[in-house]
Amino acid sequence: MRACSEPEIHPTAARERLNRVLTWLAAVVVAIAVCWSPDSEALGLFSTAAREAVDRVLSGGPSASKTVAAAGRLEVAFSPKEGAEALVLKAVGSAQAEICVMAYTFNSAPVTKALLAAVHRGVKVRMVVDQKNNLTQDTSGKARAALGALHNAGAEVRTIGAYQIAHDKVMVIDGRHVELGSFNYSASAEHRNSENVLVNWDNPDLAAVYRRHFDRNYRLSEAFEPRY
């Protein structure tokens, strides 16, 4: 008698099954953590693990580097005092609808003022910044004050502690332009450090890739709570 061969599973169907299993496991992890002890430190660890599992599902799992076609126009600047901060401000000033910010250090008065001006002219400003560097280790209080001012003005400000550090320095503007480089949004980056800023104007494909990265970190972040 001929043995019946198992039906072939299409890769897409297999991935969908895996996604359902991962989503279910993430939900179970959160439920166990909450029932176990809502006030325990373990809850935070379990919640982070669950959110990361869900994120892998939503993003399609780990992947290699992304290839994006060259498009638009590149503009570069450097610091100290070689136009880096001015280029960041130019990028912020160009926004008409939305700015998504990822930052490791955020305490620059000029960048804060530029983002406040964007909020006041109706631009949706969304931020995900490193939690440790801007809150728990912010001995000067400048980062918390800058984030508080933006929050109170109507910007959506969130902090992320899911990683050792959230070291991104990126802005995605209007779904078309990307500002990136080594430049932290700080006075030190402008006046004391050797830094670089690059803006890729009019490259929606690149903006989409960075927006997905922003969305991933957004899902792992928490709402910023100002002290006043």
Enumerate the active-site residues: 167, 169, 174
Residue 151 CB-half CA count within 13 A: 17
d(CA 108, CA 146): 8
Residue 15, token pair as written in the block: 């991935």
The Cα-based distances of 170 to 45, 101, 138, 195, 199 in angstroms read 27, 6, 21, 14, 10
d(CA 130, CA 146): 14
Beta-carbon contacts of 19 under 8 Å, excluding residues fewer than 6 positions away, are 57
Q: How many Cβ atoms are within 10 Å of 50's Cβ, its own excluded?
A: 20
Strand ranges (E), 8-146? 73-79, 98-103, 124-130
Three-state SS at 216: helix
